[in-house]
Amino acid sequence: MSQSAASSLEKKLASFDPNALGDSAGGLYGLPFTVDEAQVVVVPVPWEVTVSYRGGTAQGPEAIREASLQVDLYEPDIPEAWRMGLAMEDEDEKVAEESRNLRTLAADYIGWLEAGQPADKAQNFATVPAQVTERGKVLLDYLKQKTGAYLDAGKGVVLLGGDHSTPLGYMHALAERHQEFGILQIDAHCDLRPAYEGFQYSHASIMYNALQLPQVKKLVQVGIRDLCQQEAELVEHSGGAW
């Protein structure tokens, strides 16, 4: 951080009132920090291409930003935690637009699957899985680069989706910088399905994809209430390693 930026940050720390009403002109929680000034950066990912029940998860990051203004900053265990700086990037509208376009395509394809794959419509959907998978890989690479740059700058990173598929690029960035790490997943579902509904980067495949990284040594799942036979067999054959 430059001297002028450090001076600007000191002024913000001195003038900010953590007891005041959340400032809607500020960032997450109404905090005044820029991404450059923050020690922790939140990366919003408005992506929900492969959701198989209801849409709306792409609006999650913005909804959380708005709701954060109603949350008090005081944390008894770390009373001045806000001073470390927390900032949320602006959403990338290109990501949001591509999600909207691909979501329509994927939803129609899923509807075709649920209808029993009528032969007269098969040609309409022949390329959809490959197209969605290709763009999912592009998103993975984009987020790997983005989150990796923040990690290399010494910042903490939070990735906020969107559907469950979104963290994979961040996991790849971590894998390039750590010999090993574990994942704590709090979820109703295992998300251990390979290429669910034909989509390699499906929301239902995020943990299966994460486990393909050799640096991921353990996966701890909490709150699981629903899984398929294939997932159950995968867990059983893990020998408790996951």
Residues 213-242: tens digit of each pLDDT: 999 999 999 999 999 999 999 999 887 655
Residue 133 lies in a domain: yes
Residue spans of beta strands (DSSP E) within the chain: 40-45, 86-88, 156-161, 181-186, 216-222
User: Is a pLDDT exceeding 80 seen at residue 148?
Assistant: yes
pLDDT of residue 171: 98
What is the mean pLDDT of the segment spanning 78-97?
94
Residue 27 lies in a domain: yes
How many CB atoms neighbour CB 115 within 10 A? 9
pTM: 0.92
Contact 46, 165 (CB under 8 A): no
Contact 68, 54 (CB under 8 A): no
| Contacts of 145-148 spanning 24+ positions with Cβ under 8 A | 145/169, 145/173, 146/43, 147/43, 147/173, 148/173, 148/176, 148/177
Instruction: Indicate the number of domains in the chain.
Output: 1
pLDDT of residue 241: 56
pLDDT of residue 238: 85
Residue 185 lies in a domain: no
- Residue-wise pLDDT tens digits, 154-176: 999 999 999 999 999 999 999 99
4 pLDDT band (50/70/90 cuts)? low
Residue 47 lies in a domain: yes
Residue 123 lies in a domain: yes
Residue 51 lies in a domain: yes
Give residue 75's domain range: 3-179
Residue 56 lies in a domain: yes
Residue 184 lies in a domain: no
What is the average pLDDT score of the chain? 94
**CA-CA-CA-CA torsion for 60, 190, 114, 132, nearest 10 degrees?**
60
What is the mean pLDDT of the segment spanning 28-48?
96
112 pLDDT band (50/70/90 cuts)? very high
Percent of the chain with pLDDT over 90: 86
What is the mean pLDDT of the segment spanning 6-20?
87
